[in-house]
A and B are shown apart, each in its own frame.
Chain A
Amino acid sequence: MKNEGNTDKRPDNTAFTQQRLPAWQPVLSAGIVIPGFLLIGLAFIGIGIGLFLTSQTIQVQEMDYTGVEKDSPCFRCTRLSNQNCTCDVPFSLSTLFKGPVFFYYGLSNYYQNFRRYGVSKDYNQLTGDTRYFKSPESDCDPYSKDSKQNYIVPCGALANSLFNDTFELYQIINGTKKQVPLDGRGISWWTDYNIKYRNPSLVNGSLAKAFDGTVKPINWPRPAYELDLTDPNNNGFLNQDFLVWMRRAALPQFRKLYRRITEGDYAAGLPAGDYSLTVNYNYPVLDFDGRKTVVLSNVSWMGGKNNFLGIAYLVVGSLCVVMSVVMLVVYAKFKFSDDEA
């Protein structure tokens, strides 16, 4: 029909094209949001209390062993350039330190997140690809070759600066030292150990042979394949301490998991008493005003001790409650004046 032909260009009269889709139109006004504020406030206060209480149950024992002060036990180790300096740091626990206890080492003013430092590694080497042992990424420079032009494996600043203090923990029972067994298994990410990092395939059953023709990083006391002389499975790129180190810390003040205390008499925790920490002091931190600490901590569902989040929740929650009261006042006043008008 002609009549229909006449309206060819008539737009579709649908809710969408005519912008008439049914819509929810929230109007923000004091009256409407008061319950919302109150609810959020109360919920936050609840969460805050929970977090705070949980945080309070977590025990933390932190000991700075940098040795800056003259009377500190490790002071002498900072003085000398001598290797294999050990020092004993005594401490005592007044109550039972509930287990499992996590043993961390902490560094401050240490910028693992420095960009050039972070990229200074060759990922292909770390997946065990021996082809890259002799042709590392340029990012590794100048830590890809030693002064004799031998290739360093693993290359790069990140690996070279591996934290190499070691610790032994003793409980002093009646003047005798009883070693607390430290468990170093599974302290790195499961995915790092099982998926991301790979050792080169053994040559003639020997990991050392796989590293043939390469040298250890300059700062390392031993080559990669001899990192853990006690456990052959904890060597090469799959050394737990190495993996923990390679996962860079986000902030310049950080701690990294060193060991866990899960075994023997200490599976339930560290009983009250005197302890002594023997530190094999190697790692230099004073040239950048760094601090080294050892942290003993037990963990809860929220991780380590952290009062901030609980307090923050409490503050924000109360703020919301206060706000809802303010809103109520505003609403009442507004309502009142509105009625008057």
Chain B
Amino acid sequence: MTWTNPLTLLRQGWTRHWNPERPVRTVVSNLPFEDLKKREQPNRQYEGNAIKTNKYRLWSFIPMNLFEQFHRMANIYFVGLAILNFVPVVNAFQPEVALIPICIILALTAVKDGWEDFRRYQTDQQLNNTPCFIFSRKQMCFVERRWKDVRVGDFVRVLSNEIIPADILLLHTSDPNGVCHMETSNLDGETSLKQRKVVPGFSTLGEPFQPHTFDSTVVCENPNNNLNLFKGYVERPDKRRTGFGIDSLLLRGCMVRNTDDAAGIVVYTGHETKSMLNNSGPRYKRSKIERKMNTDVLFCVVLLFFMCLIGALGHAIWLESFPSIPSYIVPDSNGNYTPSVLSGFYMFFTMIILLQVMIPVSLYVSIELVKMGQIFFITQDVELYDEELDRRVQCRALNITEDLGQIQYVFSDKTGTLTENKMVFRRCSIMGTEYCHEENAARLAVINGANEEEEVTIYQQTKLPSLFPLEELQDIHTGDENQANAQVTAANQRRSREAAGAQSDMAFSSPLETVVVPDRKLMLEVDREMASIQTGPYLDFFLALAVCNTVLLSSVTAQRQRVKGRRSSSYSGGSFHNMRQWFRKCGLGKVFTSMRFFKRRGETLRDPFSIDEDESDGFHSSDVSDATGQKDISSERKVKSGLSGSEEMCYEAHSPDEAALIHAAKAYGFTMVERTPHYVTVKLPDGALLKFEVLDILTFDSTRRRMSIIVRHPHTKEIIMYTKGADSAIMERLGNVFTDMSQVYSEAKQTAVKTQRDLDMYARNGLRTLCFAKKVISEQEFRAWSALRQEALSAIDEKEERLMETANFIESSFTLLGATGIEDRLQESVPETIQALRRAGMQVWVLTGDKPETAINIAYSCKLLEHEDLVFTFSTNRKSVFKMRVEDTLGELRRSTLSPGADPQFRGYSSAFTGPLMEPSIGLVIDGSTLSMAMSDELVEQFVELCKHCRAVLCCRVTPLQKSAVVKLIRQKLRVMTLAVGDGANDVNMIQAADVGIGVSGQEGMQAVMASDFAITRFKHLQRLLLVHGHWCYSRLANMVIYFFYKNVAYVNLLFWYQFFCGFSATAMIDYWLMIFFNLFFTSAPPIMFGIMEKEVSDSTLLSLPELYKRGQHSEGYRRSTFWIAILDAFYQSLVCFFIPYWTYNGSDIGIFAFGTPMNTVSLFTIILHLAIEIKSWTVVHWVIMIGSVLVYFIVTLAYSAICISCNPPSDPYWIMHKQMADPMFYLVCILTTVVALLPRYTLHVLRGTLAPSPHLRARQLERLSPSHREQRIREWRGLRDTCISPSPSA
């Protein structure tokens, strides 16, 4: 779907030296060749680092730009007409005059292009001239050069907070551990730091980098645009190879952070860097309306053809009808008369010129303008603005706004889209024993309650006392004792919002996630183990939690300083750590006395699937006043203040799960205090530091679904692998627990069984589960594996497969440690949003990687499935079984369709066919492996048919690729408009596959947003985006397009009818300039305004009646019939506009252009008033533009006919308008004609409004009622609909 400029392609082909025989790029150091001429340089075939994104040069601007512009069909059409006009036998107007429209359009576009190009040139220049440091052999140091001087093979040094000039293979950093941090926000918007490490062996840590000693060859892939994949190796002169990957590549455009300087060899430059290759410009999609419109344009072409044919035939017949040649038929310049047939043939082309406006070329320009306006209003919507993130809705695709109003299928990701993706540690199971962490659950309930309270206070703007004790704690921590003691009111609310705003920036460190209240029982267990033996499964479990991750530590202060203004608060990580310390100090029992406790505030617990059913009642006894609590806190704080200083660190995790786990480990005293590529240091509960040597990390991937870290224990020197992963990924690799029946394993087996039971329970409660396992590897075994691993790492071919193999090899025979249950809370208003989307007729699918149990739970809680729904679950590994079940189900469904009411089970579904507003209430749950079977060729048809019947579909355990495959399947098979919404990198495929891709900018970086057409911050915004803006954009654009067709046909037909009275000689009775003005000035602004600002039904009504959305889904705003009705109306109106003046003036002494003037005026009135009938709400802007257009018409026409004495022969408009306007007949004709032309449409509108009001009209009528009355009517409306869905059997 991406559109590539053919010119750039050409240029790329020209300048880039693709060498298909060499799939790799070899780079050597430039330094030995520094003095050689350019063509003797070893890296000469690679491009320089200077970039040139501007298309044109000064001298080539005009020809290049014209060439570009003539790629557009519309311009070719224009030019063709202009050229045609220069052919003497066919010209209709003065050739020079006919050039005007095309010249205006070309000139305007050229100016726009030129300006944009100049801006690009300026930024390029600025970039190319940015200073950077390149190593010079002559001076033996890094000297300052410009970015454009950087070549492949150069050594470049980048200082902290500088932007990286090219893609550099990292060889040296100032960091003692050989890492370098990089912020990629310029590339993908992610503000979290990425860690890069040096390719080992080229610089000694701590010593200055000496590039001139670099004598190896770098071999890497050819440039590609994958930001996450890079592979290659460095070959030394002695043929030793060292592999490297993306974690050694510094990317152009990124910024070096937290590292004083970094240096390396340049591998890709300029346009070949990954960031430039990714920079493909705005996406170009064609909306559904536009596709339809294009076929209608073809209809217009056909219509034009027939009209021209009539003209040609008419002319020939007319010429034949004379007995002899009359004096007004002019022979050619030689005095010969052209034969009638030939004249007719010529006339065909002349007619094309005359009637050219039939093809609404201006429509395309207008649509662009309208979409710009629509996007302006969407992004301006304050309801879609997220205050926490300070982010508006982003429209990244500029031309599919109206597709938002036609969505039929919504595909949603679960994690981070429906849910907050703020992971909260809820439960864990260690060695088969479950620890339910009820205290923690209680704490969460408090936060829930407090949040609700806070929301209320924000909206009411009243000064309620804060009910959020955690916030008060923060205040204490920030050091302002006075403020803490004061009763914190409004200021506190502000702070709490601020804190919430900081959540996104501070990676996953809201109080919700960071603070875990330890389970008392488990705490005792850990303490016991710590005290006695210093090892054991509990310790191992928490060590695994603390070690087995990729979380980075960054000091809070350092991070904050570099961030611009909006990152404000600095009191998250540390303060809560402090609080935890405090919790521990004052004992667990006491904690809850200092907290205000709101268990189950009303029924509106935000957390419908929470597991606190079995919560003890002890927590309700929280009667201690706030004041006491605060005193406790402040006194405790003084005691602990000494400790807190060293802990001003915050965790930067790539996934919220990891953050939740590491915070959980911290709660039990296992604090990860340092992580370098080679060491992980963990502080134990007794304060001792354990420094693990990291031997290898097998990172997470979606196929293995687990990650492992191999470390050497500092005391025992054992090599231990800690693994965490999805339960299936771990459980099936637990040694031979289930097969070996020997005594040793029976205990392990029991653990596994128990853990599995706990896991199932977690999943049922909607928790995300992770298993933790450990494996002790012998020295020998590890060494053997390590060699294999190294080999795989430096491979270029099949690197992924080989890495996978080695990982799978080592990741087996685990010992199970335990499992965790992490809660991912639903975002606010998700059930309401899903319900609204469903009411609007959209089918909602949820595609998730989670376990079916978890997913089903979430599905129920977000109202995707309802309890009265009939849910089919497909989860099988055998195709035949699946096939049978699908067939059975389908058969059952068909039967129930045929005999409605026969099967009470299917009543809800079958009644869908008895009432127009009903939907089947059938849910389908399918898991990943079954889905892949369902999508195989022989079953796909049945599967799709089954899906058609389903109201909701839930796909679990699906891979990113499957997600996009499902979207594509539904989109192609059912030919429906699809929308995909997701937040993570795993949704990118799906987002790109759908007609409309929506990215949720949440916790998981910006990749989804980058791939999306629209970016929102919360799932609930989807409701407003689709139901309000989508609907508006659709009906606005549909109406405008229809109107445009009508307008052009109505106007051009005037000329056509006149042909019957001028011998089909292509005479125009309207001055050509006025005709141009008519389209350009007099009638262009109103439809554009109409397309931007029309508001048939207000947003509040649209939101309360989602059913109104169905019009867009069924394309009711713009159908083929609508188009033809508009065309017919145009014909009728043009007939009226022509023949009333005709009969009035026939036989009189009126001149041609005096005859055309009332017609022009009448068409203006008709066209403007036609729009006025369509406009449903008139604001000041409407009045100004509508009245303004009429005024402009009269002013311009009067001025033109006063000035233009002889400027445009043969029309010579001089004084014609004035003379006409002095004649009362002119006004009488205008009034009568306008009324007659618009009477049918107006009457039809009125009758339809009275006899058969559309839902929209009824909704409009509702708006006129008083608010209370309206509420009641809306309820009635909905009630009516609801009773339709489930009619009682007796009725």
Residues of A whose CB lies within 8 Å of any CB of B are 2-3, 5-13, 16-19, 21-31, 33, 40, 44, 47, 51, 104, 106, 110-121, 123, 127, 138, 141-143, 157, 160-161, 189, 191, 195-196, 219, 247-257, 284, 287-290, 301-304, 306, 308-309, 312-313, 316, 319-320, 323, 327, 330-331, 334
A141 near B333 with CB under 8 A, answer yes
Q: Assess whether B92 is interfacial by the CB under 8 Å rule.
A: yes
B1224 near A302 with CB under 8 A, answer yes
A331 near B377 with CB under 8 A, answer no
Bound-state CA distance A67–B333 (Å) is 34
In the complex, which of the residues A40, A110, A119, A251 has the most CB atoms of chain B within 10 Å of its own CB atom?
A251
Bound-state CA distance A219–B334 (Å) is 18
Known: A189-B1215, A250-B1155, A330-B1247. A255 touches B1063 (CB 8 A): no
A119 near B1209 with CB under 8 A, answer yes
What residues of chain A lie closer than 8 Å to B1239, measured between beta carbons? 316, 319-320, 323
What residues of chain A lie closer than 8 Å to B1142, measured between beta carbons? 251
Residues of B whose CB lies within 8 Å of any CB of A are 92, 322-335, 377, 379-382, 385, 387, 390-392, 494, 498, 501, 565-566, 568, 1061-1063, 1065-1067, 1069, 1093, 1095, 1099, 1140, 1142-1152, 1154-1156, 1173, 1176-1182, 1205-1206, 1209-1210, 1212, 1214-1215, 1219, 1223-1225, 1228-1229, 1232, 1235-1236, 1239, 1242-1243, 1245-1247, 1249-1251, 1257, 1260-1261, 1263-1264
Bound-state CA distance A256–B1147 (Å) is 10
* Residue of A110, A113, A327 touching B1152 (CB-CB under 8 A): A113
B1065 near A111 with CB under 8 A, answer yes
What residues of chain B lie closer than 8 Å to A196, measured between beta carbons? 1205-1206, 1212, 1214
A123 near B1206 with CB under 8 A, answer yes
List the A residue with the shortest CB-CB distance to B564: A5
B1245 near A7 with CB under 8 A, answer no
* Residue of B332, B385, B1206 touching A127 (CB-CB under 8 A): B1206
Bound-state CA distance A255–B1146 (Å) is 10
Bound-state CA distance A11–B334 (Å) is 71
Minimum distance in angstroms from B497 CB to a CB of chain A: 8
B1063 near A114 with CB under 8 A, answer yes
* Residue of A26, A30, A303 touching B1223 (CB-CB under 8 A): A303
A113 near B392 with CB under 8 A, answer no
Instruction: Kindly list 17 other residue pairs between chains A and B, CB separation below 8 angstroms, not including A23-B1177, A252-B1061.
Output: A2-B568, A22-B1180, A110-B326, A117-B328, A142-B334, A142-B335, A143-B330, A191-B1214, A196-B1214, A253-B1146, A254-B1149, A255-B1149, A290-B326, A308-B1144, A309-B1229, A316-B1236, A319-B1239
What residues of chain B lie closer than 8 Å to A327, measured between beta carbons? 1246, 1250
B327 near A160 with CB under 8 A, answer yes
Known: A110-B328, A142-B335, A306-B1144. A2 touches B1223 (CB 8 A): no
Closest 5 CB pairs of A and B: A250-B1155, A141-B333, A288-B326, A23-B1177, A21-B1179
B1264 near A27 with CB under 8 A, answer yes
List the A residue with the shortest CB-CB distance to B391: A9
Known: A9-B390, A23-B1095. A334 touches B325 (CB 8 A): no
What residues of chain B lie closer than 8 Å to A121, measured between beta carbons? 1209-1210
List the A residue with the shortest CB-CB distance to B1032: A19
Minimum distance in angstroms from B1057 CB to a CB of chain A: 12
B1251 near A288 with CB under 8 A, answer no
In the complex, which of the residues A16, A19, A284 has the most CB atoms of chain B within 10 Å of its own CB atom?
A19
What residues of chain B lie closer than 8 Å to A40, measured between beta carbons? 1235
What residues of chain A lie closer than 8 Å to B331, measured between beta carbons? 142
* Residue of B387, B1061, B1095 touching A113 (CB-CB under 8 A): B1061
List the B residue with the shortest CB-CB distance to A33: B1246
What residues of chain A lie closer than 8 Å to B1236, measured between beta carbons? 312, 316
A191 near B328 with CB under 8 A, answer no
What residues of chain A lie closer than 8 Å to B1246, measured between beta carbons? 28-30, 33, 327
List the B residue with the shortest CB-CB distance to A18: B382
A309 near B1215 with CB under 8 A, answer no
Bound-state CA distance A25–B1263 (Å) is 10
B1215 near A157 with CB under 8 A, answer no
What residues of chain B lie closer than 8 Å to A161, measured between beta carbons? 327-328
Minimum distance in angstroms from A118 CB to a CB of chain B: 5
Known: A8-B390, A40-B1235, A312-B1232. A256 touches B1149 (CB 8 A): yes
* Residue of A5, A21, A304 touching B566 (CB-CB under 8 A): A5
Minimum distance in angstroms from B617 CB to a CB of chain A: 41
Bound-state CA distance A211–B1147 (Å) is 36
What residues of chain A lie closer than 8 Å to B1215, measured between beta carbons? 189, 191
Bound-state CA distance A302–B1232 (Å) is 15
Bound-state CA distance A316–B1210 (Å) is 36
Bound-state CA distance A230–B477 (Å) is 114
Bound-state CA distance A253–B1145 (Å) is 10
List the B residue with the shortest CB-CB distance to A105: B1149
Bound-state CA distance A33–B1177 (Å) is 17
A189 near B1219 with CB under 8 A, answer yes
* Residue of A8, A114, A119, A304 touching B329 (CB-CB under 8 A): A114
Bound-state CA distance A320–B1238 (Å) is 12
What residues of chain B lie closer than 8 Å to A120, measured between beta carbons? 330
A27 near B1260 with CB under 8 A, answer yes
What residues of chain B lie closer than 8 Å to A119, measured between beta carbons? 1209-1210
Bound-state CA distance A331–B1205 (Å) is 55
Minimum distance in angstroms from A18 CB to a CB of chain B: 6
Bound-state CA distance A289–B697 (Å) is 101
* Residue of B1155, B1179, B1228 touching A22 (CB-CB under 8 A): B1179
A157 near B327 with CB under 8 A, answer yes
What residues of chain B lie closer than 8 Å to A331, measured between beta carbons? 1250
Minimum distance in angstroms from B344 CB to a CB of chain A: 14
Interface pairs (10), CB distance under 8 Å: A5-B566, A21-B1179, A27-B1257, A29-B1246, A114-B328, A114-B1062, A115-B1065, A196-B1214, A250-B1156, A256-B1149
B327 near A115 with CB under 8 A, answer no
What residues of chain B lie closer than 8 Å to A288, measured between beta carbons? 322-324, 326
